[in-house]
Structure 1
Amino acid sequence: MLSVLIESRNQEAELAHTLSALVAGAVEGLVSDVIVLEHGAGEGVERVADAAGCRFMRSWDLPDVIRQSRGDWVLVLEPGARPLSGWVETVSEHIALENSPARFSRSKRHRRSLRQRLFSKRCPLEVGVLLPKSMALEKASAGGDSPFLLARRQMTRRLSCEIIPAWAMIRT
């Protein structure tokens, strides 16, 4: 089973897009819970999370959040990122056969321009990060209270399924 962590900053529309892409995983029994961690003061993200049946937190301790998550694996996504079709089977297979972190492949249709690749910072969550719960807890306990830190400097295996990164939502 898989727990999904999403850290938001008043990103209602982006969160809604990501949650809609996760429905297939919930229907198939892969996604056991989704936890939305909010930094902003707006109520929009809380309403979206509540309507989708997610746990919502405005203040948190990341190691405690991971301990309380239901899944044996943790998937960290940024609001607006959308795994494409086939992700449920690919992630299920990885979880069943591997014990190492993984990430999605970047969508071939949503690549950064050369200028963007050269001059903009890449977010490690751009392609999502899938970690065994024990590894996520270890990294979270080592310092920091942001799911973003779980993805930094993480050696990952690339999954065959693709993801549309959050930045592409602005253009679509």
Structure 2
Amino acid sequence: MISALIHVAKPGDPAAVDALADTLATLVAGVAAGVVGDAVIVAPAQSTALDTVAEATGAKFVIHGRGATAWAAAAREARRDWVLCLEAGDILAEGWIRVLDRFIGTARPEVVLGRLRRPHAGLPSRIAARGETVIGTRSPRVGDLVRRERLLAGPVFTPRLRPRLVPARIDRA
């Protein structure tokens, strides 16, 4: 099972709350299939709207900035062995449940980082992601599926971790 970590960049923006709701809605099928066990919402500031959404969905709400340390703070609240890093507004494309279930079920102990495709990312991000498959990455990013224990060991991966590409796609709402 996995825990979904969802970052909300602008917690006071009503559009961000709607985007979060879209992301949580796509995870419902994963909960029903037994792949998603819990969700953690992470934002840089307190928000009553996010508190309400977290309480209504059974998610935990963590206040922390952005980047690798935010993922690590959210991972401390996660309850599953694998965490999926998402951004509010991310929509997992059809077939994601089967793909992620197979990935976590067949991953050897040395595999600690999987990366989902994000076709809406800009060209520089896509080039950087392709390079990271060769030289590795220093920190998790949106679209990464990471072993929780590795993320808790430190938000910076030393040595660099080479992500294993996961054949699932993340779209935007």
TM-score normalised to structure 2 length: 0.72
Using the TM superposition, give the Cα deviation of residue 41 of structure 1 relative to its aligned residue in structure 2, in angstroms. 3.7
Amino acid at match of 1:80: G
- Tell me the distance in 1 between the aligned counterparts of 2:62 and 2:105: 30
Over the aligned positions, Cα root-mean-square deviation in angstroms equals 3.0
* Aligned counterpart in structure 2 of residue 159 of structure 1, from 139, 145, 166: 166
Deviation at 1:66, TM superposition (A): 2.6
Question: 1:134-170 CA deviation, whole Å, 9 max, x = no partner?
Answer: 2111233x5xxxxxxx8xx752111112110xxx44x
**Does 2:129 align with 1:117?**
no
Letter in 1 for 2:123: R
Q: CA deviation at 1:89?
A: 0.7
For 1:42, which of 41, 44, 47 is the aligned residue? 47
- C-alpha separation in 2, matches of 1:59 and 1:133: 18
Tell me which residue corresponds to 2:133: none
Does the Cα contact within 8 Å between 1:78 and 1:125 map onto a contact in 2?
no
Q: Which runs of 5+ in 1 are unaligned?
A: 143-149
For residue 40 of structure 2, give the secondary structure of its aligned residue in structure 1.
strand
The gaps in structure 2 that reach 5 residues or longer are 130-139
Figure out how many residues of one structure are paired with residues of the other and give that number: 149
Query: Given the alignment, which residue of 13, 16, 29 partners 2:21?
Result: 16
Q: Give runs of ≥4 in structure 1 deviating > 6 Å.
A: none
What TM-score does the superposition give when structure 1 sets the normalisation length? 0.72
Give the Å deviation of 1:68: 4.0
Instruction: State, as a whole percentage, how many aligned pairs show the same letter.
Output: 28
C-alpha offsets along residues 32-82 of structure 1, whole Å, 9 cap, x if unaligned?
A: 110111223432222222222211123598656434421011111111111
